[in-house]
A and B are shown apart, each in its own frame.
Chain A
Amino acid sequence: EIVLTQSPDTLSLSPGERATVSCRASQSVSTSYFAWYQQKPGQAPRLLIFGASSRATGIPDRFSGSGSGTDFTLTISRLEPEDFAIYYCQQYGSSPFTFGGGTKVEIK
C-alpha cells in the first residue's frame, strides 16, 4: 500500500497569500494517477486537480498542481475567502487508491 504523508497538518494564512501544500508518497507514483481534492465542513470532497497538474472542470486557475515521483505539491496562488478548507491528495495508480491525511488551510 502506498502511504501518502501531507505537510503541514495546518496552514494559517491570510486572504491574498500563497498556500503551498505538500504530499510525499512512500513509493513512486505515476504523475498520471495523482489528484488533489478540497473539502469544506459538512460537504463532500471536490476534485481540484487530476493527473498531478490538470485542473478539473470549473476550477479557478489560482489552483495548480505539480510534482513527480514521490513529491507532489498543490499551490493556491492567492487565497480567496472560499479557499479556506481541508485539502487531500490521492494516488490512484496502485490499489488501494490511498488518500493523504489532509491539510487544513485556515484563516490567520
Chain B
Amino acid sequence: EVQLVESGGGLVQPGGSLRLSCAASEFTLSSYWMTWVRQAPGKGLEWVAIINQDGSEKYYVDSVKGRIILSRDNAKNSLYFQLTSLRAEDTAVYYCARGGITRRDALDIWGQGTMVTVSS
C-alpha cells in the first residue's frame, strides 16, 4: 500500500527544537515534491513547507522561515523536518504529504500525522 508514516512528535519545551521523520512506502520518494502541513488542535490546515525531489528547492510559510530545516534522504525513502526556537503556536499535528513531479501539484497521499506539543 502506498503510504507515508510520520514519527518524532512529542512534548517539547518552548525554545527547544524538534525533528520529524516521514517514511514513504510502496512508491519512490525521489520522484515527488513533498510538503509538510500542520493543524493546530481544533483548527484548520496550514501549509508549512515544500521540498523538491533532490532537496535543492525549498519554500516555506513566513512563520517558520529562519527556524526550519527541510531535508530528504531518497536512498532511505525518507523526509525530515526540523524546527527550532519552538513556540506555543507551533503546537499541532504535523503531516507530510506527497505532491507531484512539479511544484504545483495537489497533495494526493498524506501520512497519519504526528502530534507536537510545545509546553513547559
A residues contacting B by CB (< 8 A) are: 1, 32-33, 35, 37, 39, 43-47, 50-51, 56-57, 88, 90, 92-93, 95-102
Q: Which residues of chain A come closer than 8 Å to B111, judged between CB atoms? A: 44
Is A44's CB under 8 angstroms from B110's CB? yes
Is A56's CB under 8 angstroms from B108's CB? yes
Total interface residues in chain B, CB < 8 Å: 23
Q: Which of B37, B59, B108, B110 contacts A95 (CB 8 A)?
A: B59
Q: Which of B45, B95, B104 contacts A92 (CB 8 A)?
A: B104
Interface of A is mostly: loop
Which A residue sits closest to B108, measured CB to CB? A47
Q: Which residues of chain A come closer than 8 Å to B107, judged between CB atoms? A: 35, 37, 45, 47, 90
Is B59's CB under 8 angstroms from A99's CB? no
Which B residue sits closest to A36, measured CB to CB? B106
Is B106's CB under 8 angstroms from A92's CB? yes
Which A residue sits closest to B105, measured CB to CB? A92
Interface presence of B27 (CB below 8 A): no
B residues contacting A by CB (< 8 A) are: 35, 37, 44-47, 50, 59-62, 95, 99, 103-108, 110-113
Is B113's CB under 8 angstroms from A44's CB? yes
Which 6 A-B pairs give the minimum distances between C-beta atoms?
A: A50-B106, A44-B110, A35-B106, A99-B45, A102-B44, A96-B61
Is A56's CB under 8 angstroms from B110's CB? no
A59 to chain B, nearest CB (A): 11
Q: Which residues of chain B come closer than 8 Å to A97, judged between CB atoms? A: 35, 47, 50
Indicate whether A99 sits within 8 Å of B106 (C-beta atoms), given known contacts A44-B111, A44-B113. no
Q: Which residues of chain B come closer than 8 Å to A57, judged between CB atoms? A: 108
Cα separation A20 to B71 with both chains bound (whole Å): 39
7 residue pairs bridging A and B, Cβ less than 8 Å apart: A39-B45, A50-B105, A51-B106, A56-B106, A96-B47, A97-B50, A99-B47
Q: Which residues of chain A come closer than 8 Å to B103, judged between CB atoms? A: 95
Q: Which residues of chain B come closer than 8 Å to A47, judged between CB atoms? A: 106-108
